[in-house]
Amino acid sequence: MAVTSTYTVTGMTCGHCVQAVTSELSELPGVADVQVDLGTGAVTVTSAEPLAEDAVRAAVDEAGYELAHA
């Protein structure tokens, strides 16, 4: 069963930003799909199992952006 989670990422301003975040998050184990809304900073991740927030934060950090605090 797929799990969909939405996060807010700050600092993205262009298509390259979207590509970097999508690429890093796609490498997490179990991730099937990543959708980024550049206008709102919303990042929706579909995965096989719930993802650890630390793993998501690390992937976003690796891309050079920040996961907003909930």
40, two tokens: 């709102």
Q: Could you give the domains of the chain?
A: 3-67 (3.30.70.100)
- Among 23, 55, 37, residue whose Cα is nearest residue 67: 55
Q: Give me the pLDDT at residue 64, please.
A: 97
The Cα 56–Cα 39 span in angstroms is: 20
> Model-level pTM?
0.93
Low-confidence ranges of the chain (pLDDT < 50): none
Q: Give me the pLDDT at residue 70, please.
A: 53
Instruction: Calculate the alpha carbon distances from 2 to 5, 42, 48, 64 in Å.
Output: 10, 19, 5, 27
Do residues 7 and 46 touch, judged by C-beta distance below 8 A?
A: no
